[in-house]
Amino acid sequence: MSFDKVLIVDDEPLMLDFLAETLRRKNMEVVTAKNGRQALEILKTTTFDLVITDMKMPGVTGMDILRAVKEDSPSTVVIIITGFGSIENAVEAMRLGAFNYLIKPFSPETIETVIDKASQQLSLLAENDYLRNQVRKNHGGPTHYVGAINEGPESHPVTVIGNSPALKNIMSDVMLIAKSNANIFIHGESGTGKEVIAHAIHYNSLRKDRPFIKVNCAAVPDTLIESEFFGHEKGAFTGANVKRSGRFELAHGGTLLLDEVTEIPLMLQAKLLRVIQEQEFERVGGSKPVKVDVRLISTSNREIKEAISNKVLREDLFYRLNVVPIYLPPLRERREDIIPLAEYFLKKMCLENHKDSLNKKFTKESQKLLLDYPWPGNVRELANVIERAIVMDNGLQIAPEHLRLDGPLISGKDASVITLPIGTPLYMLEKQMIIETLQQQHNNSTKAAEILGISPQKLRSKLASYLS
């Protein structure tokens, strides 16, 4: 993450000019103040990414400036300049929030090195904030099947589970394409594990030590999605009280997953196309280009040709995103994966729910039921069924009656009738109705929304809530 706007404060004109020239050569916008009082006046109206200030100045000192900056903008990086005899004060400044200090005299290379380190730390802090927010968002929600590959000598963070020929072919392709920088488009029904494959690609790529950032395009309101992608400057719109980095900037050097990319508004698709072509963008409310190096992985459960013909997805954008296509079949077409996945979820959710994970097993009858069931909600539905069975039963065997697969389903004989066992929560009925309607309409959300009597936006919102 780069420092766009910098304030330099020093009462020595030569030092002020030296620092300003050094940072302008790094394409930074530099504002200078010849004393502490002038700096405080500037800080009343302007927020900076970086402040470099001399420690000892008459009247308002560098310590005063540090306190003022941290009170108004805690994320602003402050670097203190000090003489050899006042290192103790510089250490105290670091305790109060300064990033580092420089001892006079120093070379241009020294200041550039310190700024580069500060920039790296700022990127890590931004990524940590993003991940922390994701954890808060997902805490207490449904269990997700997210994970990646464990193949070869290296240990990867996630595990792809299954024995089907289709999955083996996909994983073989993943190992080949992961090493490239090509954009990838993963297509498949909702709940098939597209995000898992995206994780697998990232963690087997040369970018594996860089950020993996996800944005659920269906869950972000149209009015906020540009800011979510590209960030915004302070004051760009009502409520933008601080500068914020977007997902593209957070993913710099790594991978950005555009989940349900067909839900991006057409107006923003044009801007996204330009970002892909030029590898740069402007934050909302800003004019300075921000350069990024990001690999894009996109997913969708829509019928792509229909999305293009209905002007939901720009054809030129699709070609940019679809350099390497991957199709992930539904779970009903890779039945060899069902039992390995069910056993994985059994152990995982027993541990999460403090149940006996070593001795709890499926009966042969329940395994047959799992294999015969069509799984319209795919892997996500399988995970929910197993979790419900574990929560509702304390025995050591999972029998067919514990799976309750004859519960909230639309019957194949009469698609207008839904039968429910007593005690089934209403939200599960709603969820199943939506999943089944989407299945019947071949994942056409517009037609499904019309049948359900809700707007497409409301349908996308409900689908997003099932994923969160």
Where does 98-207 have alpha helices with state H?
A: 108-138, 165-177, 194-203
Q: Which two tokens stand for residue 267?
A: 């107006």
DSSP state of 74: T
Q: How much of the chain is in helix, strand and coil states, percent to nearest 5? A: 45, 15, 40
Query: Is the pTM here over 0.95, yes or no?
Result: no
Band (102; pLDDT cuts 50, 70, 90): confident
Of 373 and 437, more confident: 373
Q: Over 60: is that where the pLDDT of 183 sits?
A: yes
What is the Cα–Cα distance from 186 to 419, expressed in whole angstroms? 34
Domains of the chain in start order, with CATH, are 5-121 (3.40.50.2300), 165-329 (3.40.50.300), 335-405 (1.10.8.60), 406-468 (1.10.10.60)
Kindly report the backbone phi and psi dihedral angles of residue 397, in degrees, each rounded to the nearest multiple of 5, phi listed first.
-120, 140
What is the Cα–Cα distance from 101 to 66, expressed in whole angstroms? 12
Q: Over 60: is that where the pLDDT of 143 sits?
A: no
Helix 338-352 vs helix 364-372: angle between axes, to the nearest 10 degrees? Answer: 120
| pLDDT value for 4 | 80
DSSP state of 28: -
Average pLDDT over residues 147-170: 65
Average pLDDT over residues 342-355: 86
Task: Dump pLDDT digits (tens) for 277-311.
Answer: 999 999 999 888 999 999 999 999 989 999 999 99
What is the Cα–Cα distance from 56 to 203, expressed in whole angstroms? 48
Task: Dump pLDDT digits (tens) for 420-457.
Answer: 555 666 767 787 788 778 777 767 777 788 778 787 77
| pLDDT value for 467 | 55
Average pLDDT over residues 137-163: 47
